[in-house]
């Protein structure tokens, strides 16, 4: 009998407390609880979340959610302020006379883009990507992208270099979209808070040989005019193939 009674007590204590069970316990044992709460159930929900952090954005009490909510509110205020400034320019009520940022790069900039909400500017030179804070003139990060995965035959073409840069997802967590003269595109993240991370990359344009290319039989000749490369058959003077051979000059979202 003693064993049965102890097991029944343990089973009843292992169940989560609620209002009804406490009331029944109060009636049977004639004891009153001083304070009741659902703290245990609330804490248990946190242990049920995955540790990978993939679903933190959906948790209304997570730090990521509060950060995104703050960023959304800030962006709304900045858009309103920018609209007011644009109205002043349209009404010719302001003058552009103050220089807010000046910097010297080791290489000539090929492309640059301003962040629409943060005081950041991304500069792409031939070999480097640089992120500046133009309010404090502080260099946030600078790195040389890895080009080992570029499918390029250096025997007939010069080494690839950066030609254009663009920002994507700037309303939340910004990503850098970099384009190269050989047709490759790379996407970078974590370029402010940590070492830049390559998120993705792919080849957007076909690789074309240089205008000086000739086949081994010397029956075909390739020439280039502006952005078009043309292949001729020198035996019968026939146009064999024609394609667009420019690198990436612009990116649009």
Classify burial at 127, counting beta carbons within 10 Å of its beta carbon; exposed 0-12, middle 13-18, buried 19 or more.
Answer: middle
Average pLDDT, integer, range 175-183: 88
DSSP structural state of residue 27: H
Average pLDDT, integer, range 173-194: 87
Q: Where are the domains of the chain?
A: 2-48, 102-253
pLDDT for residue 43: 74
The token pair that represents 104 in the structure block: 């010297």
Tell me how far apart the alpha carbons of residues 196 and 160 are, in angstroms, rounded to a whole number: 20
Tell me how far apart the alpha carbons of residues 145 and 196 are, in angstroms, rounded to a whole number: 9
- pLDDT at 184 exceeding the cut of 50: yes
CATH fold of 102-253: Lipocalin (2.40.128)
- Give per-residue pLDDT as tens, 146-159: 876 555 444 445 67
Candidates 182, 148, 176; CA nearest to 162 is: 182
Element (H, E) at 130: strand 129-133
pLDDT for residue 155: 43
- Give per-residue pLDDT as tens, 15-46: 444 544 454 455 555 566 677 788 877 777 66
What percent of the chain lies above the pLDDT cut of 70? 55
């Amino acid at each position: 009998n003693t064993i049965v009674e102890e097991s029944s007590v343990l089973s009843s204590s292992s169940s989560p407390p609620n209002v009804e069970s406490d009331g029944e316990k109060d009636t049977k044992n004639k004891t009153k609880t001083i304070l009741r709460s659902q703290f245990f159930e609330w804490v248990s929900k946190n242990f049920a979340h995955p540790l990978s952090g993939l679903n933190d954005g959906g948790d209304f009490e997570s730090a990521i959610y509060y950060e995104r909510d703050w960023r959304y509110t800030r962006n709304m205020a900045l858009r309103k302020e920018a609209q007011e400034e644009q109205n002043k320019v349209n009404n010719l009520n302001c003058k552009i006379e103050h220089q807010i940022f000046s910097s010297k790069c080791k290489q000539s900039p090929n492309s640059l883009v301003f962040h629409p909400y943060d005081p950041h500017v991304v500069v792409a030179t031939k070999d480097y990507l640089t992120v500046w804070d133009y309010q404090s003139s502080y260099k946030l990060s600078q790195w040389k992208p890895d080009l080992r995965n570029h499918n390029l035959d250096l025997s007939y073409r010069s080494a690839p270099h950066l030609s254009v840069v663009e920002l994507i997802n700037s309303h939340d967590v910004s990503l850098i979209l970099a384009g190269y003269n050989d047709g490759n595109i790379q996407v970078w993240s974590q370029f402010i808070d940590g070492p830049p991370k390559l998120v993705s990359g792919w080849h957007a344009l076909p690789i074309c040989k240089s205008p000086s290319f000739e086949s081994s039989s010397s029956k075909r000749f390739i020439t280039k005019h502006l952005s078009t490369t043309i292949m001729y058959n020198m035996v019968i003077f026939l146009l064999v193939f024609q394609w667009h051979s420019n690198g990436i000059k612009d990116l649009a979202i």
